[in-house]
Structure 1
Amino acid sequence: MEYSSFENFLKQGKSVLEKGPVAMIFVEDDVEVATTLRHHLQCGFRAVIALMPDAFRLPDDVAAKIHRVPFDCGPHDAVVGAINAVIETAPGTWLYYCYNAEYLFFPFCETRDVGEMLTFHTEERRSAMLTYVIDLYADDLDAFPNAVSLDRAFLDRSGYYAQSRKDPETGHPRERQLDFYGGVRWRYEEHIPKNSRKIDRIALFCARPGLRLQDDHTFNDQEYNTYSCPWHHNLTAAICSFRTAKALKRNPGSTFDIHSFRWHNSTPFEWHSRQLLDLGLMEPGQWF
């Protein structure tokens, strides 16, 4: 279904947001848009919303299954503002957001859908789920100058680390919150703004009145920003993303400094949750 504007979607598409989980895919450019949408349809979301420019075309089979909303990701705070508007419209609904050329993986996603996972997560009294944004990149930048190739995608198998997240008012570490780093953003941090170097994102969350997403991908409710409950480890997920590598090759200030993203800790991406679990890039918690 297509809508005439984002405001029209909020008014006419309320029924789409009544029951989740709902995926919001923000389309920044025309790279791998259809594959991103297909992947999230296959994850089992009840609705997939593509917020994208009118100029981009979609294959008929994809267009028939998603909700298309005209949107420009360019203006500062446009994405955050749109997500917060949806939160206000859909209290009680599980929501997810990512960008094109990003792909959600969660434990056992080959045999279970995202709704099953979030049902279990809700039973554990959790209202949000931490996701790690794992950088993907093509192995050969001469063959793939935009750093994107699904068939020849690589990721870093090590080099990830966490630091305590401090409360800006007290200076004390926040309980069960960490800032996570690694991947291409860590290896090329000189080209990455300081406020964009983290790889953690609360991409799956249950909307409620008063909840607000902030610029750093955290929420104004600190419990939403925790990686687990106080009693045991909880589920986490991964968003495998070409977005950073793509931006570094597009940016004139970095593209000529990067001839290959591969290094001694690169490994082919297998497009399977088992690899991510084995590498410690997501956590099954108590879900078996």
Structure 2
Amino acid sequence: MQFDSLTRLIKDANALPKKGPVAVVLVEDDVEVATTLRHHMQAGFKHVIAMMPAEFELPADLHDTVIRVDYMMASDTATQDAINPLIAALPAGTWMYYCYNAEYLFHPFCETRTVGEMLAFHTEERRDAMLTYVVDLYSDDLWAHPNAVALDRAHLDRSGYYALARQDADGHAKERQLDFFGGLRWRYEEHVPTVRRKIDRIALFKTKPGLKLRADHTFSDEEYNTYACQWHHNLTAAICSFRTAKALKLNPGSTFDIETFKWHNSAPFEWHSRQLLDLGLMEPGQWF
């Protein structure tokens, strides 16, 4: 299905998803669009919505399985302008997820368990949102891959991740909220604006009336922004992403300063949840 605007999709009662989980892929350029869509379909999302420029082509096998919406990601508020109307339009209580192209969701035991099974357990723990860490991926050979994207040569950082207390307007630490840092945004922070250095994103959440996504990837409901409930650790997931590496290499202000992203703590990405669990980049909580 294809729609020439988000408004058209929202007004089409037959096309708008009635049951989740729903994945929304925000397409910024033409890099790895099809692999991103297929990855999330295989993860178990009932519906995948591709918000993408009209001039981009989709492979024929995705025409009937992806809901395509013509959309431009050029404005600073493009993410909120796409996600917030969908939050309002989808039935309350629908699990929703969003990411960008060349980003791939991994959750604990995703090789044998679907995202729907994970979210069913998360719901039983009375959680309405899930913290995800954006883990930077990058090619180990920028001469062969000038945009830093290569699925078969992907690497990640094994260490260098940390968290700081998230403060409110009065300078007090917010309960069960942390700002997480690491990866390329930490190693090349001189090229990354301060407001964009965090790697945490509340990418999985339940829709409800009045809920709003904010520019910093947090929500208007502060409980959605917590990493765990009050009683024990909860599940978290990881979004393995070429987005930062791509931006650093395509940005004229940083590309000539970077000959390689590899360092002594780089490791080949194994495309398996076990590696991410072993590195502490996601948490299984009480789910075994």
TM range (shorter): over 0.9
Tell me the residue number matched to 1:83. 83
Q: Is the 8 A contact 1:16 1:47 kept in 2?
A: no
TM-score (norm 1): 0.98
1:110-148, Cα deviation, whole Å (9 max, x unpaired) = 000000000000000000000000000000000000000
Shift of 1:63: 2.2
Q: Is the 8 A contact 2:9 2:16 kept in 1?
A: no
Residue 158 of structure 1 pairs with residue 155 of structure 2: no
The Cα of 1:211 is off from its aligned counterpart by 0.6
Q: Tell me the equivalent position of 2:240.
A: 240
Q: Which moved more, 1:133-142 or 1:83-92?
A: 83-92
Q: Note if contact 2:9-2:15 (Cα within 8 Å) is conserved in structure 1.
A: no
Aligned equivalent of 2:217:
217
Structure 1: segments with no counterpart, 5+ residues: none
Q: State the SS of the aligned residue for 2:287.
A: coil
Moved more, 114-123 or 62-71: 62-71
CA contact (8 A) 2:157 2:265 kept: yes
Please state how far the C-alpha of 1:39 moved relative to its aligned partner: 0.2
Distance 1:211 1:174, change over 3 A: same
For residues 162-190 of structure 1, give each alpha carbon's deviation from its aligned partner in whole angstroms, at most 9, with x where no partner exists: 0000111x211001000000000000000
Q: Which residue does the alignment assign to 1:229?
A: 229
For residues 122 and 139 of structure 2, the distance between their equivalents in structure 1, rounded to whole angstroms, comes to 34
| Contact 2:10/2:16 (<8 A) preserved | no
- 79-88 or 96-105, larger mean C-alpha shift: 79-88
Aligned partners of 1:212, 1:178: CA distance in 2, in Å? Answer: 20
1:94-243 counterparts in 2 under 5 A? Answer: 94-168=95-169, 170-243=170-243
Aligned-residue identity in percent: 69
If the length of structure 2 is used for normalisation, what is the TM-score?
Answer: 0.98
Provide the rounded CA distance (Å) in 2 between the counterparts of 1:197 and 1:4: 33
1:271-286 equivalence runs, <5 A: 271-286=271-286
CA drift of 1:204 comes to 0.2
Q: Which residue number in structure 2 is paired with residue 71 of structure 1? A: 71
Would you say 1:260 and 2:269 are equivalent positions?
Answer: no
Secondary structure of the residue that 1:132 maps to in structure 2? strand
State the alpha-carbon separation in 1 of the partners of residues 89 and 64 from structure 2.
24
3-state SS of the aligned residue for 2:3? coil
Letter in 2 for 1:131: T
Q: Which residue of 2 aligns with 1:250?
A: 250
The CA deviation at 1:82 is 1.4
User: Aligned equivalents of 2:66 and 2:219: distance in 1?
Assistant: 27
Residue 237 of structure 1 aligns with an amino acid whose one-letter code is A
SS of match in other structure, 2:40: helix
* Cα drift, residue 58 of structure 1: 1.1
Range with bigger deviation, 132-141 or 84-93: 84-93
Aligned length: 287
Task: Specify the alignment match of 1:20 in structure 2.
Answer: 20
| Cα distance in structure 2, aligned partners of 1:13 and 1:189 | 45
SS in 2 for 1:79: helix
1:5, distance to aligned residue in structure 2 (A): 1.4
SS at match of 1:61: helix
1:166 maps to a residue whose letter is: Q
C-alpha separation between the residues in 1 aligned to 2:279 and 2:205?
24
Unaligned runs of 5+ in 2: none
Shift of 1:62: 1.9
Query: Using the alignment, how far apart are the partners of 2:13 and 2:77 within structure 1?
Result: 22
C-alpha contact 1:17 1:93 (8 A) present in aligned 2: no
1:29-76 per-position Cα deviation (integer Å, ceiling 9, x unaligned): 000000000000000000000000011111111222100000001112
Instruction: Tell me the CA shift for residue 159 of structure 1.
Output: 0.2
Q: Does 1:43 align with 2:43?
A: yes
Residues in 2 aligned to 1:69 and 1:15: alpha-carbon distance in whole angstroms: 11
Q: Which runs of 4+ in 1 moved over 4 A?
A: none
Aligned mates of 1:212, 1:66 — CA distance in 2: 25
8 Å Cα contact 2:26/2:98 also seen in 1: yes
User: In structure 2, how many angstroms separate the alpha carbons of the residues matched to 1:219 and 1:274?
Assistant: 29
Query: RMSD in angstroms over aligned alpha carbons?
Result: 0.8
CA displacement, residues 214-259 of structure 1 (integer Å, 9 cap, x when unaligned): 0000001110000000000000000000000000000000000000
Q: Secondary structure at the match of 1:17?
A: coil
